[in-house]
Amino acid sequence: MKNSGAVIFDLDGIVVDTTGLQFLAWRKIANDFGFDFSKDQNEGLKGLSREDCLKQILAWGNIKLSVKDFHKWMDIKNSYYLNYIYEMDASAILPGTLELMDVLQEENIPFALGSASKSGKIVLKQLGIYSRFDAVVDGNDVKNGKPDPEIFLLAANRLGFAPSACVVFEDAVAGVQAANRAGMISIGVGNKGLQKEADFTFNNLTEVTREFLQNFLLFQS
């Protein structure tokens, strides 16, 4: 029996507990420029590309940079972030992620990564789960970050499924908007603010049952 759909996972805040590390790295950049920003402000950075995050932070600090310096600061942010990442192990995988992947594999439902982070592949390898994904799309593979649908459309294409057959798990407003624009089913996780935009919401992936997935993905005869 052929499965009827596929799943796309965002990375930071869905597969792995890295949202705090991204926040710390970006905050260090702001601190290097002599200002700070709050966790609430950080919500608006979630899901955006590295370039768009830096643009937003510079706007908060009212700082203008040359193109050369802009690239230099993106590299500095990445070195801060990678220092955290290389300390991380599989205990950073979020509750419910591996169990959900097990269910999908049992039911022969392919799944992909669809992340804006240019460190997406590095993070999956660090966690030892890269090879579990049928396709991996990260920030190196696309021109446009979320909320543009390019990341998710490329992931669907690599999986060989129509966008309308794909279910996306996302923790960021920009990510839910990208899934919606791609014409996919959007599932918001861990953030009550997503209720307005996502098709469905859960507190975390442990709440996502086989029966729920069956509505979209499984056992089509």
Span 21-40, contacts to ligand G6P by CB under 6 A:
22
102 is catalytic: no
Window 162 to 181, contacts with ligand G6P (CB under 6 A)? 172
132 binds, among Mg ion, ligand G6P, none (CB under 5 to 8 A by kind): none
CB 19 to Mg ion: min, Å: 7
The contact pattern for Mg ion, residues 139-178, with x = CB under 5 A and - = no contact, is --------------------------------xx------
10 is annotated as an active-site residue = yes
Q: What is the DSSP string of 75-138?
A: HHHHHHHHHHHTT--GGGBPTTHHHHHHHHHHTT--EEEE-S-TTHHHHHHHHT-GGG-SEEE-
Segment near ligand G6P (CB under 6 A); pick from 47-55, 97-105, 150-158, 186-194: 47-55
First-to-final CA distance of the chain: 7
Q: Which amino acid is at 145?
A: G
Amino acid in position 169: F
In 137-188, alpha helices (H): 150-159, 173-181
Give catalytic residue positions: 10, 12
Contact footprint for Mg ion (CB under 5 A): 10, 12-13, 171-172
